[in-house]
């Protein structure tokens, strides 16, 4: 799938954002290695802390359907009710969730500021020296 289509999927996902408290709507589109796309949006809560980011919504939907192999995610966000116009970088918690399921050197994160302009990063670029399963496995053998 080409990158522009994944960005458009993220923009469509953003339409479902539930963000009455922050007024900031985010959409994500997660591409599996088999070519499927899982959409996610942010889902807020009156008690604030249960809020789920768009990226994690997409990951948890996919993993709960048995998917484990991911290629890329597109993320878009901005003031609710307005077109997105700036990059929306994933929060630290979402980067850590990506670390659990993705190869940091290969998994790509597309950040778009509109349907025509986006930047691509690897997970290793936005989460250097991330903690993953490898650390626990090494710890066990020592």
Shortest Å, Cβ 43 to ligand THU? 8
Of residues 53-112, those binding ligand THU (CB under 6 A): 53-55, 88, 90-91, 94
Nearest distance in Å: CB 108, ligand THU: 16
Q: Which is nearer to ligand THU, 9 or 44 (CB)?
A: 44
Residue 24 vs 115, nearer CB to ligand THU: 24
* Tokens encoding 43: 């889902």
Decide if 15 is catalytic: no
- Residue range at the interface with ligand THU (CB under 6 A); choices 18-26, 60-68, 100-108, 110-118: 18-26
Q: Which residues bind ligand THU (CB under 6 A)?
A: 19, 22, 24, 26, 42, 44, 51, 53-55, 88, 90-91, 94
């Amino acid at each position: 799938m080409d990158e522009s289509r994944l960005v458009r999927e993220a923009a469509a996902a953003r339409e479902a954002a539930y963000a009455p408290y922050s007024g900031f709507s985010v959409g994500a589109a997660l591409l599996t290695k088999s070519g499927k796309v899982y959409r996610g949006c942010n889902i807020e809560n009156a008690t604030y802390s249960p809020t789920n980011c768009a990226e994690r919504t997409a990951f948890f939907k996919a993993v709960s359907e048995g998917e484990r192999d991911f290629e890329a995610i597109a993320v878009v966000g901005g003031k609710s009710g307005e077109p997105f116009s700036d990059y929306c970088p994933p929060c630290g918690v979402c980067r850590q969730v990506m670390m659990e399921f993705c190869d940091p050197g290969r998994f790509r994160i597309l950040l778009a500021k509109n349907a025509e302009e986006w930047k691509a990063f690897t997970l290793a670029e936005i989460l250097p020296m991330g903690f993953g399963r490898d650390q626990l496995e090494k710890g066990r053998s020592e």
